[in-house]
Every structure is written in C-alpha cells, then in structure tokens.
Structure 1
Amino acid sequence: MKTLLKIFFLFAISVQIQAQDLRLISGKVTAASDNSPLPGATVIIKGTLKGASTNWEGLYQIKAKPTDTLVFSYVGFRSQEKKVGSLSEISVTLEDDISTLDEIVVTGYAVTKKASITGSVVSVKSESVASKISGKVRGVKVGKEEPQSGLLTAGEINDLEKWNEWKENLKKEEYKTIQQNWNFYLENKIQVSVNDKKGKPLNNIKVSLFNESNQLIMTARTDFTGEVTLFKDLNYKSEDDFYTIQIQQKNKVLGKKITNTYQRIAFVLDEQSQTNDIDVMFTIDATGSMGDEIDYLKSELKNIISRLDESIDDKRVALTFYRDFGDAYVVKDFDFNSNIDAVKDILSKQSADGGGDYEEAVEEALKVSMSKNWNIYAKTKLMFLLLDAPPHFTEKNVAIIKEQIKLAQEKGIKIIPIVASGANKNVEFLMRFFSVSTNGTYVFITDDSGIGNPHLKPSTDDYKVEKLNDLIVRLIEKYSGVVS
C-alpha cells in the first residue's frame, strides 16, 4: 500500500511540474524577402496536433513546454523549427521555397498553383509571392484593404441525399471512434411527410419518435417540403421491433405504430396558415487559427446577406462569434436583426485572435446560438457554423452538445457546418454528424481558390466545387423553397 501511495505521489508531482512548465509563447512570422508579416502562417508543436495561426500582423500565441519544438510553416516558404527552451518570445523569418514556387497561376479568383483551370490565366515565374501579389492582382488581400467577395471556393456533401455513401463511411474506424465518443449513430432513419388534404406540404409540424417502451427518442419539425428525417438510433443502437410516430398540429395529436422495417410514412392534416419568413444565423470561430481566412469569410458573408432573395417576406440574420476560455471573450453574440446593413456593419468590425490549443469553445457557441430569439413560425431556420477545430472532448461537453443538437431538432433548426483550413478528420466527421442529425448539409472550403492554409479533402466519392458565396445563397434558397 505504501508503495502504491509513493508511486501516486510521484506521479502527481510529475503532472504538477509539467503543468507548471506550460507557458505562453508569442512572436511574429515574417518573410525574408521584404520583412513583411505572414498572416495565416501555421505554428505547430512538433509531434502533436496542437497549433495556432498568425493574425494579419503576423503575430501568434501558443502554450508550450520548454521541451517542445515549434514548427513554423507557410505555403511557398521553407519551414523552420525552433526549440522553446527558456524562451517566451520566438519570432522567425521564413525564406522563399523556390521548389514550390516554380510556377504560380494568377486568376480572377486568387493565386494558386497551376492546375486545370478554365478562363484567362497569367503565368508567373518563381519570385517572392509577396512581391507578385502587391495589390495589383484582382481579388488578392493585401494589407488592411478588405478583399472582394466571390474568391473562396467550397464543396457540399448532403449525406441524407447520399445515404448509401454515408452508411459506407460509418464502417470506417474514424467514424466509429466519433460515434463512440459523442454517442451519435444515425444509421437507421425514417422519412416522415405531412401534407394537408389538398396535397400541400405543411412546415413546422412537430413530429416525435418513440421506441416500443414508449420512451421519446427524438422530436423534430417538418421543413418547407413538409418532410423531416428522424433517427431510430440517434444516441444508441436501435434494437426495437416497433416504434410510434406522433405528430401534433395545434390541439390535434395523431399517432401511427410502425415496425422497424418502415423507411417512410405519411400524414394528412387540416390546412394551416404558414409564413414565408426565414431566420439565418452565422456562428463563427474567431480564434487566431482562422486568421488566414477570416477577412475573406467576412466579405463572402456580407455578400450572402445582401443577396437574400426579395421573395422572402421577413429575413432576419443573427451573428455569434466565439473563441475559447481565457481569450478576450468566449462568446460574443448579436441577436436576430432584419436590418441587413446593421448586420454587415457588425460583421466588418470582427477579427480573429486568441485560441492557442487546437480545440475551441464550440459547445458554448452552440448554447448561445440555440438560446437566441428564433422565430418559431419561420418557414426556414438555418444555422451556418464556420469553424476549423472541434470542441474540447470532455464528458461535460458531450452532454452539452447532445442537448444543443436536441434543441436544434425540436426548433427545426438545420445546422450547416462550413469547415475551414486546418481541420482534421475528427472535425469533418463530427460536423457531418451535426448536419445529418438536424437534417442539414455539410460544407467545406477547398484549396481551389489558393487562399489560406491547406484544406482537408472530404471522405466522399465526388463533389462539385463552387464559389462559397454562391453555394451558401443556393442553400438558403433551396431550404426556403425559393424558385430561381
């Protein structure tokens, strides 16, 4: 017993010493050619996934131990490694990597390596990237000038529409790990449709699914198509033989008992008045790791907000920005507003900073986003979640996130993640669980624009590359039933 206590004591001291050694490292990353700052440069603790990105002044902050080595990298430049040791400030100057800058293509979108691109292009031989994009190239962000919209490129995966591919992905070990960690399964679905007696789809109808023990599994709401997808195995593997589907319209409640083999069921209700209103929320990771793309994203979002279709009677937009505990703020939120110009003005004033470790306060952002003044009568309720990192994985956060997903389902809010550079497969898989469970879709920024750090290639057979702003407007119109 004494030996065990001694081992435990020594282990506790060791952990405490390691925690005390962890300290904040800061510095600046610049280009050797002209000493200009390199925004969006990556700073990673060697051998880990922990990292940070520089802001538009080339500044970064990261927590590290004396035994750690920092790896500094930037597209088109040679990487550098620096041992932390006793230093609390580490600044580096990166040299051009001629081997990766042999040929660059300048297009109307941005700067990218030469590939299969249609339209007018200009070939640029290897010189400093900074000197070649001095502001004369259309669409390239330089200094504090705000970039134009229509530069970022993205793709979409709608797993509900590509259900067979989704089920194949669920067999992969990475997916199984996420399933076990976060208790999402989403393999056994049923499609519920609700129409009036004239065949007109009814939206915002509350639909609940119960197991054979009459325990509630999931409650959600129909969208503008009058349909909603429910999951018999939302948070646990489904083994029941019978289920009950219950719908509610005002004071009327209807129920149907089904077997496990049912994949679709329909209900017919009385006519009801419906609005043409939409609520759109943008929940945005504003930590330092988003520094390579945040200004471009702001331009895209302002363009998107301006383009909301005139056929939408009452369009309201809300903004939620989040960082992490210990930063200047954890969550900064702006409730729904129909004054589009006011929303764009708020968006213009935001910047990326803070963070330091890989995970961020995603769960806190979800809590605030779900608590806002959503219009319960709106035909369409969408939440776009822009991020590049997952929430901190703790038992408490698992419970918080499951509760927020449940609220989104009950309110009929579709969560549409937009994953930026720096994300790994854990982020992709978890965000696809978010979108599937709320009847949304998954969006990811691609490398095709040449903007920002490298972007993750998604697990899918095929996808179409679009301009991000066009894609988001298309999704808003699709889920609002707007016919273009």
Structure 2
Amino acid sequence: MKTLLLITLLLCPWFVGAQSVTVRGVVRAQAARTVLPGVRIVEKGTANGTATDARGRFTLVTTRPTPRLLVSFIGYVTKEVAITHPKDSVVVLLPEDETVLSEVVVVGYAGAAHKSSISGSAAAVSGSPSGVLIRGARSTPPASRPAPKAKTSVPPTGTRVGAGVLTAGEINDFSKWTLWPDIAQQDLNHWRQRWHLSPLERYAVQLVSEAGFPVVGATVRLLDRRDSVLWQAQSDNTGKCELWNGLFTDRQPSNVASLQAVVEGKTYSLRRPTVFAQGVNVLRVRQPCQAPSIVDIAFVVDATSSMGDEIQYLQAELGDVITQAKDSLASSTLRLASVFYRDAGDEYVTRKTNFSADLPATLDFIRHQQAGGGGDFPEAVDQALTVALNELSWSPHAKARLLFLLLDAPPHENPPVLASLQRSIRQAAAQGIRIIPVTASGIDKSTEYLMRSMALATNGTYVFLTDDSGVGEAHLKPTTDQFTVERLNTLLVKLMAKYAYTVDCQAPPATRPHQAETLSGHYQQVADTTMGTTHSTKREKRYTWTCYPNPVSEVLHVQLEADIPELFITDVTGKILLRAVPAHYKATIELGSFPTGVYFLRFFAGTRWEQARFLVSR
C-alpha cells in the first residue's frame, strides 16, 4: 500500500501544493469598458486580497485551488467571480450601481453665486426602486421646521418590514466648501449663534510617507503662539485630517502659529500653516506604509416615541446595511456597537452593546429595541454621545471609526448640555471618530445646522431622509444647491466603503503599469448658434476632454475643447483637495504632494458633472 501511494504521488506532482493558485486578470466598467484602478479583489471567506493597478490589472495568490473572488468598488455593484480555470486571465466587468434613485433635487438655494459647487456623491446614479415615485425638482419654502403632512406609513405592531424602502440624501460640506461659509454666515447664521458652533476657519492637513503612501492614524494638532492645543485630530484612511480654529467661539483674529504631527513617537512640525482657501498643508514623515484592517462602526439611535413612524424601517435598513458591509469590507475586521437613547425621566436614558466582531449579536440587539418615551422636542443626544465615546471600546488601531447618529430631534439647549456637546465633538475629532448624522422626519433648521457642523468638525458627512419613500412625516429639505436621492441602505454602505478604503501596501511590482494612458470623455455645453442675428438659437454641442498621464506621479495635464471655468480634484470620499482654472482650454495640475491612491478629476459642464478616475502612483 505504501509503495502504491508513493507511485501515485510521483505520477501526480500537481497533487502537492495544489491548494494555492495565482489568479491574474483585469477589471473594467461593464458599460464603458474602461479599466478601473483601485478595485478591491478579496478571496471570499478570507482576508486575502489585493487591488487593481492603474490599468485595472491584478494578481492574487489564493489559498484555495478553485476560489471565489469578491470584486468591489465605490459606485459599482459588488460581483462574485468563481475561478474554475486559474491559468486563464480573468476579465471582470463591474456594472454601475443601479440600486439608487435618479432624482437630483434642486433646492433653490440663492444665497451665493456658487451654483457649481460639487455635489456630495461621486458615484454614478441611475435606476429607481420599486414602489417609489420619482418627483421632479422643486424649491423649498423658507421654514425652520417642515409643515405637518398626513403621509405616514407605519407598519402594524409585529409586522416585519423589509430593507430598501427608506430614501435619503447626503450633503458632504467638504465637497461644497465654497457654498458652506455663505450658508453658515447668512441663511443659518441664527443657529450658529445658538449652538456656539462655527466651523469656518479650516486647516486641512495631508500626511505622506517618504515612499508616497498616506499615513493613517497619526495624531495631528493645531497650536497657537504659546504652543497650546487649539484642535486635535487623527489622520484618516486617506492620510488627511481637518483642524479648526475658533470652532466654539466667535471669530477673532487668528492666533494659529503651527501644526504638529506625532508619528510613532516622532514629532513633525509645520510653521505658519495655511487656511484651506490657500491650500492643503502637507507633511512628509518617515514611516513605512501600513494598512490597518479594523473598521469600527457604531449606530447611535434615538428611540423616543417621535421615531415610531420610522424606527422599524430604520432597524430593517441597518440589518441590511450590516449584511452588505460584511461583504463589501470582506478584507477588513468589522466590529459593530450600538447605543439607543431616550430622555431623562423615561424608562431608560441609554442602552448599549459594546463593540464586537459578532455581527449577528449586534443586529439582534438593534432589532429588539422599540420607540417610546420622550414627549418634548429635545432629547438626550448629549448623553448618548458621551456614552458612545467613553463607554464603547473604540480601537486605537482602526483605519476607520464611524459613528452614525440617527435622530429626529435636537439635544436640550442649556449651558451644561452645550458644554457636554463641545466636549464630545472635541473628543470625537481627537480620537478620529467621524460623526455621521442621519436625520429623520421632524428635525428643524436649528438641528440641521448643528448636525452639519458636528459632521464637519469630526471629518464626517451629513445624511437626511427624504419624502420619496412615503414613510414617515414630512422631511425637511436641507439648505444647499442640490442633492441626489438614493436608497438609505445603499448610501450608508457606500459611505462605509469610502471611509474604509485604504491603499494596498502589498501590491506586487509586477502589477504596476509600464506605460501610462490617456483618459478621455465627452461633455456638452449650450452654444448660441446665431450670435449677432435678430433671433438667437441655442443648442447643446458635444465636446471632448482628455487628461494624462494615468497613473500620474507629478503633473496631470487636462485639455478641453470648450471653456470650463473650474476643475476640481477630489479624493474617494468626495472631499475637494484642489481647484484649478484652465487657461486657453488647458490646465496643468501639480500633484507632487499627493500620496499614492485613487482620485477624481471633476468639472461642471453646463448641465451635469463630468468626472474621471485616475491613480497617483509613487
């Protein structure tokens, strides 16, 4: 028998070591057939993964002979690919995400001449959910609270509701930064004074390693002339952080003297940092590329009676979000926690479950909560934040820490509560915890301003439910130029993916492109075809744009065929990093200070936003 086994092994050398194979391939957009850089490829059921290079190519050594790969990227549907013939090159076609709505709502904000501010979503938007009426654009009447509306769909007690029902929009004020100061100092100025919050004097910082990779999780401080700390934050998944001066005080002459970053015990300083209007402050530090795997996500939920019209739907949406997040963040260690809160004098003020990688346990906790108590408009928001920040075990080594705050009412307005809110905002920023408010029906303009300010102060974004689902009372439209309506579950998963995206430090040199490419596309502008005549006729004319090289290390060249007033460079979170003004239909954009990663070139072409995804490679 032993002899027979030996002969079998000698005749079948492939038997030994057949548990791992090398898979090579390319990922393209299904519709345009263009290559997609920065796409995550993960072997299903493992943390083993890689990312595509600038030409959409990847190489992955798997742990199984016939693996299944999860292929995912922001704005595209995650695809599962079965590898049956590993020796063949794989071509993966990713379809654009069509689970979001196609409604772009023009709110009618007329407080500034910045109508072309970048919208909050960087992903393509199309399709519509079953049973949702897509309305046309409308203007919002000036009001502090939404008018009562008899349009409520509350499921009977015990009824199980499904996910994909609630609709929402997002305002990333970092992506609309030229619009925000006008909104904060004009339309919402009264609420700025009420909450003693003024996120206006902004200092953006980018940490880059000597090898050109973003530095994640470093402590960064803004200092005054006496070296006292004005603000402290942590660099995020893209190596950036946001620092603020005078956030809780009336604006006074700036006393900012320097900023300081602490990386692995070593201090790096920059004297006389510039405000964001003058550029991003870049610090180069000595640190090898690191890719943390932990993603901490906490859901802090208002469970008072006023949430009764939407809480069951929110619970269903969160359950679906958790399931989707597990798949889209397959290469990460996902930990969840939750805090439910009511108000003083209710059955309870806060209930919590701590961070755990046991996702079903957290989901079970969320499903067993019910709305009750409350009664007055304000609730114990401040106490919920205190519990979430101090009693949940946030990982100091996470690449993303997200606190989703779901509510329909503001905190109380008194000095102790305001002081508590200020402490929580400062603490969240210092710990690198992004606060992402999700506001439901019933909020007013005061609450909107507070939530958007908290999001800015902690490097987060603002999410709000809309009327499109037909669920709940009337939802207040935000003060902005326009926003895109999406399904809530899709939007939340997309945000998680954006904020958890990190550059792959282990990309093998063989996958790096040897030849750069030129990106191109078309845009339309309204042209006057009969200038100088009695009657003027206007029509849309098609133009071509190009940008090169891709990947880029120092300078990105952009060529246009028609006048475009501004070009923007944004990161994967939608945050504006750089603005350029073309001269004679051309622009030369210096990117030498940008770390390795995926970026977007964006510009407004009369009726719509155009964008190109490109890779910065060192």
Q: TM-score, normalised by structure 1?
A: 0.70
Matches within 5 A, 1:40-59: none
SS of the residue corresponding to residue 236 of structure 2 reads: coil
Residue 144 of structure 1: aligned partner: 158
* 1:212–1:240 CA contact under 8 A, matched in 2: no
Residue 404 of structure 1: aligned partner: 424
Q: 1:275 to 1:129 in 2, by over 3 A?
A: closer
Residue 285 of structure 2: aligned partner: 269
Residue 178 of structure 2: aligned partner: 164
Residue 357 of structure 2: aligned partner: 338
Q: 1:387 to 1:110 in 2, by over 3 A?
A: farther
* 1:192–1:227 CA contact under 8 A, matched in 2: yes
* 1:287–1:352 CA contact under 8 A, matched in 2: yes
- In structure 1, the gaps of 5 or more residues are 1-106, 118-127, 134-139
The structure whose residues are more often helix, as a share, is 1
- One-letter code of the match for 1:225? T
* 1:322–1:330 CA contact under 8 A, matched in 2: yes
Residue 300 of structure 1: aligned partner: 317
Q: By how many angstroms is 1:211 displaced? A: 1.7
Q: By how many angstroms is 1:346 displaced? A: 1.0
* 1:232–1:238 CA contact under 8 A, matched in 2: no
Which sits farther off after the overlay, 162-171 or 277-286?
162-171
Residue 271 of structure 2: aligned partner: 257
Q: Give, in whole Å, the separation in 2 of the partners of 1:347 and 1:319.
A: 7
- One-letter code of the match for 1:294? I
Matches within 5 A, 1:193-204: 193-204=206-217
- One-letter code of the match for 1:269? V
Q: By how many angstroms is 1:129 displaced? A: 9.5
Residue 233 of structure 2: aligned partner: 220
Q: By how many angstroms is 1:231 displaced? A: 1.4
Residue 382 of structure 1: aligned partner: 402
* 1:414–1:440 CA contact under 8 A, matched in 2: yes
Q: Give, in whole Å, the separation in 1 of the partners of 2:421 and 2:225.
A: 26
- Which of residues 437, 441, 447 is equivalent to 1:417? 437
Residue 189 of structure 1: aligned partner: 202
Q: By how many angstroms is 1:244 displaced? A: 0.7
Q: By how many angstroms is 1:238 displaced? A: 4.1
Q: By how many angstroms is 1:144 displaced? A: 1.9
Matches within 5 A, 1:110-149: 110=131, 115=135, 141-149=155-163
Q: Give, in whole Å, the separation in 2 of the partners of 1:215 and 1:337.
A: 37
Q: By how many angstroms is 1:182 displaced? A: 2.5
Q: Give, in whole Å, the separation in 1 of the partners of 2:235 and 2:333.
A: 20
- Which of residues 153, 158, 182 is equivalent to 2:167? 153
Q: Give, in whole Å, the separation in 2 of the partners of 1:352 and 1:335.
A: 21
Q: By how many angstroms is 1:235 displaced? A: 2.0
- One-letter code of the match for 2:339? T
- One-letter code of the match for 1:426? S
Which sits farther off after the overlay, 453-462 or 176-185?
176-185
Q: Give, in whole Å, the separation in 2 of the partners of 1:263 and 1:238.
A: 21
- One-letter code of the match for 2:462? Y
Q: By how many angstroms is 1:440 displaced? A: 0.3
* 1:243–1:259 CA contact under 8 A, matched in 2: yes
CA root-mean-square deviation: 2.3
Q: Give, in whole Å, the separation in 1 of the partners of 2:262 and 2:246.
A: 22
Q: By how many angstroms is 1:263 displaced? A: 3.6
Q: Give, in whole Å, the separation in 2 of the partners of 1:422 and 1:184.
A: 22
Q: 1:312 to 1:385 in 2, by over 3 A?
A: farther
- One-letter code of the match for 2:174? L
The reply on whether 1:279 has 2:296 as its aligned counterpart is yes
Q: Give, in whole Å, the separation in 1 of the partners of 2:254 and 2:439.
A: 36
Q: By how many angstroms is 1:259 displaced? A: 5.4
How many residue pairs match? The answer is 358
The reply on whether 1:478 has 2:498 as its aligned counterpart is yes
Residue 591 of structure 2: aligned partner: none
* 2:425–2:454 CA contact under 8 A, matched in 1: yes
Per-residue CA deviation, residues 255-299 of structure 1 (Å, 9 max, x unaligned), is 111155554211111224441210000000000000000000000
Q: 1:411 to 1:108 in 2, by over 3 A?
A: closer
Q: By how many angstroms is 1:482 displaced? A: 6.5
SS of the residue corresponding to residue 212 of structure 2 reads: coil
* Moved beyond 3 Å, runs of 4+: 107-112, 114-117, 140-143, 259-263
- Which of residues 204, 207, 226 is equivalent to 2:220? 207
Q: 1:214 to 1:179 in 2, by over 3 A?
A: farther
Residue 32 of structure 1: aligned partner: none
Q: 1:194 to 1:187 in 2, by over 3 A?
A: same
- Which of residues 240, 254, 261 is equivalent to 2:254? 240
Q: By how many angstroms is 1:213 displaced? A: 3.3
Per-residue CA deviation, residues 145-186 of structure 1 (Å, 9 max, x unaligned), is 21110000000000011101111101225x323322322211
SS of the residue corresponding to residue 434 of structure 1 reads: helix
- Which of residues 305, 309, 326 is equivalent to 2:345? 326
- Which of residues 359, 380, 392 is equivalent to 1:361? 380
Q: By how many angstroms is 1:116 displaced? A: 5.1
- One-letter code of the match for 1:343? T
- One-letter code of the match for 1:345? D
Q: By how many angstroms is 1:240 displaced? A: 2.6
Residue 367 of structure 2: aligned partner: 348
Q: 1:129 to 1:477 in 2, by over 3 A?
A: closer
Q: 1:270 to 1:345 in 2, by over 3 A?
A: same
The reply on whether 1:453 has 2:473 as its aligned counterpart is yes
Which sits farther off after the overlay, 392-401 or 341-350?
341-350
Q: By how many angstroms is 1:209 displaced? A: 0.1
* 1:362–1:391 CA contact under 8 A, matched in 2: yes
* 1:241–1:259 CA contact under 8 A, matched in 2: no
Q: Give, in whole Å, the separation in 2 of the partners of 1:461 and 1:431.
A: 18
SS of the residue corresponding to residue 291 of structure 1 reads: helix
Q: Give, in whole Å, the separation in 2 of the partners of 1:321 and 1:380.
A: 22
- One-letter code of the match for 1:457? K
SS of the residue corresponding to residue 146 of structure 1 reads: coil
Q: 1:337 to 1:148 in 2, by over 3 A?
A: same
Per-residue CA deviation, residues 180-221 of structure 1 (Å, 9 max, x unaligned), is 232221112111011111100011010000122332110000
- One-letter code of the match for 2:318? L
Per-residue CA deviation, residues 305-341 of structure 1 (Å, 9 max, x unaligned), is 1111243421000000000001000000110011111
Q: By how many angstroms is 1:402 displaced? A: 0.3
Q: TM-score, normalised by structure 2?
A: 0.55
Per-residue CA deviation, residues 232-265 of structure 1 (Å, 9 max, x unaligned), is 2322224136521001012211111115555421
Which sits farther off after the overlay, 313-322 or 182-191?
182-191
Q: 1:355 to 1:212 in 2, by over 3 A?
A: same
